[in-house]
Structure 1
Amino acid sequence: MLITSTLHGTEKNNNTTTFSVWAPLCNRMVLHLVHPHDKEMEMTKHEEGYWKISIDDLPDNATYFFKPDGEKDYPDPASQFQPQGVHGHSQVVNHQLFAWTDQQWKSIPLQNMILYELHVGTFTKEGTFEAIISRLHDLKETGINAIELMPVSQFAGNRNWGYDGAYPYAVQNTYGGPEGLKKLVDACHREGIAVILDVVYNHLGPEGCYFSSFGPYTTNKYNTPWGKALNFDDAWSDGVREYFSNNPLYWFEHFHIDGLRCDAIHFVFDNGAVNFWEYTHQKVKALEEKLGRPFLLIAESDLNSPKVVQPPELGGYGFDGQWLDDFHHALYVLLDEKGKERYYDFGTMKQLAKAFTDGFVHSGEWVQFRKKHFGVSSKGVPGNKFIAHNQNHDQIGNRVQGERLSMLVDVEKLQLAAAALLLSPYVPLLFMGEEYGEDVPFYFFVSHTDKELVEAVKEGRKKEFASFLNEGEIFPDPQAEKTFMKCKLQWHKRHEGKYKMLLNWHKELIRLRNSHSIFQYTDKKYISAEVFGGKGLAIHRRSENAAHHLICLFNLSEKELHYHLPSSQPAWHLLLHSKQPQWQYQHTSENYKPVLQMNGNEKVQLPPYCVVAYASMLQ
């Protein structure tokens, strides 16, 4: 049962089903039961604008609509299942019926996670929750211990990234609904894999959302790129705050989700005395005490501000972690020469070094893209508060042709990128298929039924990316089913040629990360960076007592570089070298023979586009 004084949607308790909806400005509210029998019943208005009615002996699959002011049927704004899509009736869900088997599950600390972002519809041929289960063993064998599901809240049609969800409490019907999601989470926990869920609290989807018929869920005070902002601090905002702050509790309690990744929190506007995120943080902490297990809140933030992960008592938002886009930008521009066209405020080795040692690259400097000085230093924020990545749905899907990194750079650079990410002080996130260099695109796709909306989406995307279109280049139709189908992963590749080598490379990097104690030290004072030879970078990490050292050397140039190992340690032994034979998928005339053990101040030979890691000998 949700730990809140107000109830949203339906709740099945023993033989009684309670319906509740927030509609403070309505004079009437009618519950229209559709199944098991067609019947309309007047609801009673309670405090703060909640209408309620309790009914005995309803079947677990009862379906219904609400009729604001008794005028027209609409789905429940807090519907937990829309079996016929966003325009159809809502269905009661009895959460007591599912037989969970994860009672012994203990969640994984964020700093120990190897995150894996996936889109349910394109991850498998079937595109369902249950189809993912058969692939969990492959992920676990790779070293993945946490999957991050792109949003699964009900959206229009059967193809969508999920960020256009119209019903934040309902699980997408075409993915398998509430039952399918629970089966997936239960199976993940059996495999030792945590589940993070993307949620969207900054806007509601453009099709099938009838919230305005119930109450002031949105406000004209602020604007977002997707339309009206949600009403978190204007008149009648209390009900909206309750609705969205209860949503994390719903996922945690009823679906055993381990954490949420909150989309674009910089578009959640709240200037009230108690910020929405602080309010939500308090509720999550109360649920943790009640259930005796931790829950994670991760932010996608465009603020470059440490306050995102600072506790509320220090004026922060209380998130456990936040995405670090600056890491991606700083590295990508150095790997792909065309990257400068997209991220023209990045491109120096010094910035990449700062990404490793500080986090935010832009920490108060003038940023041309933003036309202002931007950001604050994150030097004091531990690495385990940041989620870094080389690829994610945005960085791939917001390109004209949906190109993955594997479609933009060669294998050597893919190896470099993987090592930079997995040997960093941050929590690493891979995008589905990245572990074996998948090279099918990941386009933006939708399946709206509103023809005007379809055309608006097409024209909007074309306009947004007009400057990136090459002459004669065709922009993929986001509404076309073939656009979606081209994004399906080709799982057979992971057993072939360069794909198999890249998969093994990722496995080895994850194994190294998990086995070496140095990676437990994420405080920035234990890491330093040095640029050498123009495009060489040395990342030096040490343990708290300085007894153990690790040095990662990256050559991002076309020429051979040399680096003298620190003389502070008398002996170094080789952990990793990307030019070793097992990391080459085709014959090469180069014959590099890495030195397995070296003394302090000895010179390391670094071939073009390679990564080498040495650790200090145990004292």
Structure 2
Amino acid sequence: MASPDDSRAVRAGVPPLGAWVEEGSRVRWRVWAPGHQRLEVVLHDAKGQPGRAVPLAREPGDCFGGVLEDHGAGTLYKLRVDGEGPFPDPWSRSQPLGVHGPSEVVVPDFEWTDAGWKGVEPQALVIYEVHVGTATPEGTFEALIPRLPGLKDLGVTALEIMPVAAFPGVRNWGYDGVDLFAPLHAYGGPEGLRRLIDAAHARGLAVLIDAVYNHFGPDGNYLRAYSPHYFTGRHHTPWGDAVNYDGEGSAYVRSLVLSNVEMWIRDYHADGLRLDAAHAIIDDGKPHLLTEIAERARAAAPGRRVLVIAEDERNERRLLLPTAKDGLGLDGVWADDFHHQMRRAFAGDSEGYYQDYTGSTEDLARTLRQGWFYEGQVSKNLGHARGTKAEGLEPWRFVHCIQNHDQVGNRALGERLGHDVSPAAFRAMSTLLLLSPYTPLLFMGQEWNASTPFLYFTDHNAELGRLVTEGRRKEFAGFKRFAGAEVPDPQAQDTFKRSRLDWSEAEKPEHAGVRALYRELLRLRATDAALKEIGPGSYDARALGPDAVLLERRGGGQTLQVLVSLRGSVEHRVPPGAELVLWSEAPRFGGSVESPPLRDGAVRLRGPAAAVVRFTALR
């Protein structure tokens, strides 16, 4: 079996690290531990109890290495550093007994059935964000597999899985991960993740992995036991000292990330990554780590479409430009302005960053034309200018949503959008989201307007857990809307249980209509000629007074108009021969408006509501 890293790392002066099985029956280790004098592998039994120690020899590049004959996959071990520890391997591929337990040697010997899979074209992306632990009662990768046909039938083309790198305990969003290479054992470990991705490809669904490289969690983080160079005080992030991507020893730290990127794509056949808080990945060197992440991901799967999408609040076009144009070469970015404006317009949110948005139809139309709203205007919330021009960037590169894990779970009570807007408003907002030229992202259960909350939950040790609980409640103490509300304890098991999806809810009358609307809108998105065209001049948006907005899509000789009334009554004239495609308040979608709103050459809506009309493109 070859080493876990390719020749790129070696050419950069960083040898392969971790543990792997070589030809025959032996395990090889290599550990980076600058400044240390002695390293030992401490073998462990199946119950996690330590046994004999195997010394590692000093190797070039501040590394220690060694080989153990007559061992292979399944070997459990920890590493003793100058007599301290032993500690888990920071490059571990599996942590079957948790982040504090021994590391496990694994080999990527899964029998894949997706040899013909080429990925999903970015223009066809419809992303479904899912948290593995709460998506099913079992909370595992394999338990998601029976749900794949329904998602495919709905019109989803890609799963985006919230972080699965091993984190402390069994309940967590995943952004406190500490073992980048080890899929969480409680979810099903390496084997379970491979089964899910292989099954997704068999159904024609891509899989994106949410990866966290801006910080590492505190509980179970043993990186400093091996080297102080994993972090730097030269840069700071909201989580403290930044990960060291540009200082002394940074070649090894960069290799930690780049090898991890390659592993997800090569060994797990993932179709791409969503990079958490890319604005907090600080790198003053060249090329920027983000560029190398994108390049490494694509190189790991020749002949397959691989996408790298960043969560980044800066509205920076440089992220999406190719390196030949001084860009960073990423494929897409979460563009949150659309979400914030929709919340302000329909739900009235005005605190925190929502103060930067008016909720006006003029501003909403501008965002629908541009992809994001802030292009250099001063942000009241930040106190400085934010954003750059979006002109010339393809619309599929902007990921829009009306809810996601952050926008639901970072509310004090984990309220979904449906808790704060009427069913009619939810249907109208959904229509605009799914028929825009931008890439839509759905948060699990959104397609039936799920009522279950998605709360913030953790499973830390007692002391850290207490601090998290206190911090969470202090965070929301100043928000007027949560005055007097008891913020659920993130550490409580009930907080986690309440966040589980109830799939049976989708069959109830008040939810089944919403799912029918989503299915119809996504069918239109995939098949209608006017919606498949996303080139220059193929879409436009404008305000129809203070209470309505019109989105227009053009293609294949057809024009599709999406009229959305936020409130009150609106009348919009359409050309002769215009056909009513659907209206969001139709009874089949859960609404109560039986009469088609197109009469006598005009669409008449009483909001919140949406209607879609089609006619031959005017010359």
Aligned residue number for residue 610 of structure 2:
611
User: Which of 568, 572, 586 does residue 563 from structure 1 map onto?
Assistant: 572
1:41 correspondence with 2:47: no
Which amino acid in the other structure matches residue 233 of structure 1?
D
Judge which range, 481-490 or 458-467, deviates more: 458-467
Which amino acid in the other structure matches residue 334 of structure 2?
W
The CA deviation string for residues 535-563 of structure 1, in whole angstroms up to 9 with x for no partner, is 111111223xx722221111111x21111
Aligned residue number for residue 385 of structure 2:
373
1:384 correspondence with 2:396: yes
The CA deviation string for residues 448-497 of structure 1, in whole angstroms up to 9 with x for no partner, is 12x22112111221222211263431111000000000001111111111
Which amino acid in the other structure matches residue 596 of structure 2?
K
Which amino acid in the other structure matches residue 167 of structure 1?
D
Aligned residue number for residue 580 of structure 1:
586
User: Which of 381, 386, 400 does residue 412 from structure 2 map onto?
Assistant: 400
CA contact (8 A) 1:358 1:524 kept: no
1:273 correspondence with 2:286: yes
The CA deviation string for residues 153-200 of structure 1, in whole angstroms up to 9 with x for no partner, is 000001000000011111111111111111111111111111111000
The CA deviation string for residues 229-287 of structure 1, in whole angstroms up to 9 with x for no partner, is 10001111111011111111001111111111000011111001221112223323432
User: Which of 414, 419, 422 does residue 410 from structure 1 map onto?
Assistant: 422
Q: Which stretches in structure 1 are left out of the alignment for 5+ residues? A: none
Q: What aligned pairs does 1:32-431 form with structure 2 within 5 A after superposition?
A: 32-35=42-45, 38-96=51-109, 98-215=110-227, 216-288=229-301, 291-339=302-350, 343-346=354-357, 347-431=359-443
CA contact (8 A) 1:309 1:318 kept: yes
SS of 1:134's partner is helix
Provide runs of 4+ in structure 1 moved above 6 Å: none
SS of 2:355's partner is coil
Q: Closer, same or farther in 2 for the Cα pair 1:341/1:72, shift >3 Å? A: closer
Aligned residue number for residue 31 of structure 1:
41
Aligned residue number for residue 2 of structure 1:
5
CA contact (8 A) 2:313 2:335 kept: no
Which amino acid in the other structure matches residue 560 of structure 1?
S
Aligned residue number for residue 459 of structure 1:
470
Distance 1:467 1:251 in 2: 41
The CA deviation string for residues 304-331 of structure 1, in whole angstroms up to 9 with x for no partner, is 1111111122222211111111110111
CA contact (8 A) 2:570 2:606 kept: yes
1:526 correspondence with 2:538: yes
User: Which of 479, 487, 490 does residue 475 from structure 1 map onto?
Assistant: 487
Give the CA deviation at 1:341: 6.6
Q: Closer, same or farther in 2 for the Cα pair 1:50/1:616, shift >3 Å? A: farther
Give the CA deviation at 1:618: 7.6
Distance 2:54 2:594 in 1: 81
Aligned residue number for residue 550 of structure 1:
560
Give the CA deviation at 1:46: 2.7
How large is the Cα RMSD of the aligned pairs? 1.8
Q: Closer, same or farther in 2 for the Cα pair 1:137/1:339, shift >3 Å? A: farther
CA contact (8 A) 1:129 1:176 kept: yes
SS of 2:53's partner is strand
Distance 2:160 2:101 in 1: 28
Distance 1:209 1:99 in 2: 32
SS of 1:48's partner is coil
Distance 1:118 1:51 in 2: 39
Which amino acid in the other structure matches residue 239 of structure 2?
W
Which amino acid in the other structure matches residue 452 of structure 1?
E
The CA deviation string for residues 386-405 of structure 1, in whole angstroms up to 9 with x for no partner, is 11111100000110101000
Distance 1:31 1:107 in 2: 40
SS of 2:588's partner is helix
Distance 1:196 1:520 in 2: 23
Distance 1:241 1:338 in 2: 40
The CA deviation string for residues 208-234 of structure 1, in whole angstroms up to 9 with x for no partner, is 111001111111111111222100011
1:441 correspondence with 2:453: yes
Distance 2:523 2:346 in 1: 25
The CA deviation string for residues 50-95 of structure 1, in whole angstroms up to 9 with x for no partner, is 3222333213210011112243200000111111111110000111
Distance 1:608 1:423 in 2: 18
Q: Closer, same or farther in 2 for the Cα pair 1:349/1:124, shift >3 Å? A: same
Q: Closer, same or farther in 2 for the Cα pair 1:46/1:354, shift >3 Å? A: farther
Distance 1:425 1:255 in 2: 31
SS of 2:85's partner is coil
Alignment: residue pair count:
602
The CA deviation string for residues 347-378 of structure 1, in whole angstroms up to 9 with x for no partner, is 22111111111012111112110111211121
User: Which of 13, 16, 20 does residue 22 from structure 2 map onto?
Assistant: 13
SS of 1:223's partner is strand
Which amino acid in the other structure matches residue 365 of structure 1?
Q
- TM normalised by structure 1 equals 0.94
Q: Closer, same or farther in 2 for the Cα pair 1:591/1:83, shift >3 Å? A: closer
Aligned residue number for residue 594 of structure 1:
597
Judge which range, 356-365 or 271-280, deviates more: 271-280
CA contact (8 A) 1:401 1:443 kept: yes
Identity within the alignment, %:
35
Distance 1:388 1:266 in 2: 18
SS of 1:529's partner is strand
CA contact (8 A) 1:383 1:524 kept: no
CA contact (8 A) 2:120 2:305 kept: no
Distance 2:336 2:313 in 1: 8
Aligned residue number for residue 536 of structure 1:
548
CA contact (8 A) 1:156 1:207 kept: yes
